[in-house]
């Protein structure tokens, strides 16, 4: 599917679709978050877990109101497991990258509080921005990999995702802001970081990608309302 022009993109429709899907499929969001947390315990498997969650929710969300999709939670969990096995190796570098950025930023934040150094404080701020952008980048790479019939190599997929993000910086910025807001809000609840955040970030990525390159966010909402025709 061809990418829509900037004039055709509708951020309000995308936000509406994100909220609608997150609410309608809350149990699935919870299940995906828990599965990502469990699958990512060895750390290096985080990338594969993200790829599997994007693959699973892409199929679920795109299929709503259109055709057959894994309808029961157990069917969706089984689909996630199969996708995780397929994407495990491909996701290793992305998981390592994301974890490395988080760990380095955590070290800078700890040193900033300990030493009160301006350099470490600046590094902490840059690191927080890096965590958000790396998260968006990894999720976008997951969309490209899981939607491709013949996935390219790790470097090629990451490069394509990078170009996809910088091609429309306004939408990338909007997605990054939502990622940051969701993280802060759910960090405040503590348990929400594990039980909701990964799944909600996946829904956000699927909706944004669909608005830019797929059916469109408005069409997704119609599908979840049961109003889709044709």
Give yes or no for a contact between 208 and 9, defined as CB atoms under 8 angstroms apart.
no
Instruction: Using the predicted structure, report yes or no on whether residue 7 has a pLDDT greater than 60.
Output: no
Confidence of residue 229 (pLDDT cuts 50, 70, 90): low
pLDDT, position 116: 87
Closest CA to 58 of 226, 223, 219, 205: 205
Number of Cα atoms under 13 Å in the Cβ half of residue 193: 7
Per-residue pLDDT, averaged over 188-207, amounts to 92
The backbone torsions φ and ψ at residue 2, rounded to the nearest 5 degrees and listed phi first, read -80, 155
> Which pair of structure tokens corresponds to residue 88?
């495990």
User: pTM for this one?
Assistant: 0.91
Helix (H) or strand (E) holding 72: none
Residues 6+ apart with CB under 8 A from 138: 47, 50, 94, 95, 97, 98
pLDDT of 24 > 80? The answer is: yes
CB 80, CB 56: distance < 8 Å: yes
Please determine, for residue 1, whether its predicted confidence score (pLDDT) is greater than 50.
no
Which pLDDT tens digit goes with each residue over 69-103?
667 889 999 999 999 999 888 899 999 999 999 99
Quick one: pLDDT band at residue 210, thresholds 50, 70, 90? very high
Position 41 confidence tier, pLDDT thresholds 50, 70, 90: confident
Mean pLDDT (whole number) for 172-193: 91
List the structure tokens of 40: 């990512």
92-132 tens-digit pLDDT? 999 999 999 999 999 999 999 999 889 999 999 999 999 99
CA angle 190/195/201 to nearest 5° reads 100
Helix or strand (DSSP H, E) at 5 = none
What six digits make up the tokens of 122? 């600046």
H helices of the chain, in order, are 11-24, 26-39, 46-63, 73-115, 118-147, 154-166, 169-189, 191-195, 197-213, 217-225
When pLDDT is cut at 50, 70 and 90, the band that residue 153 belongs to is confident
- pLDDT band at residue 184, thresholds of 50, 70 and 90? very high
pLDDT for the residue 137: 96
Take residue 200 and report the two structure tokens written for it.
């909600």
How far apart, in whole angstroms, are the C-alpha atoms of residue 212 and residue 157? 18
Segment 191-207 mean pLDDT: 93
Q: How confident is the model at residue 175 (pLDDT cuts 50, 70, 90)?
A: very high
Q: Euclidean distance between the first and final Cα of the chain, in Å?
A: 18
Contacts of 25 by beta carbon, 8 Å cutoff, 6+ apart: 60, 61, 203
Q: Decide: residue 24, CB within 10 A, 0-12 exposed, 13-18 middle, 19+ buried.
A: middle
């Amino acid at each position: 599917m061809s990418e829509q022009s900037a004039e055709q993109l509708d951020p309000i429709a995308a936000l509406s679709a994100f909220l609608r899907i997150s609410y309608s499929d809350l149990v699935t969001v919870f299940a995906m978050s828990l599965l990502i947390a469990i699958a990512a315990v060895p750390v290096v498997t985080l990338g594969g877990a993200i790829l599997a969650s994007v693959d699973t929710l892409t199929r679920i969300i795109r299929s709503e109101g259109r055709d057959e999709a894994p309808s029961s939670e157990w069917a969706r969990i089984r689909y996630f497991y199969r996708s995780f096995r397929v994407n495990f190796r491909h996701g290793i570098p992305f998981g390592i990258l994301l974890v490395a950025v988080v760990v380095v930023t955590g070290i800078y934040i700890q040193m900033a509080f300990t030493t009160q150094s301006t350099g470490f404080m600046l590094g902490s701020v840059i690191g927080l921005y890096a965590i958000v952008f790396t998260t968006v980048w990894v999720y976008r790479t997951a969309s490209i990999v899981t939607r491709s019939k013949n996935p390219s190599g790790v470097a090629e997929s990451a490069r394509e995702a990078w170009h996809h993000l910088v091609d429309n910086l306004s939408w990338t910025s909007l997605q990054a802001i939502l990622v940051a807001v969701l993280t802060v809000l759910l960090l405040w609840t503590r348990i929400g970081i594990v039980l909701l955040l990964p799944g909600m970030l996946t829904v956000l990525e699927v909706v944004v990608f669909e608005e830019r390159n797929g059916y469109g966010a408005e069409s997704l909402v119609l599908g979840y309302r049961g109003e889709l025709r044709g």
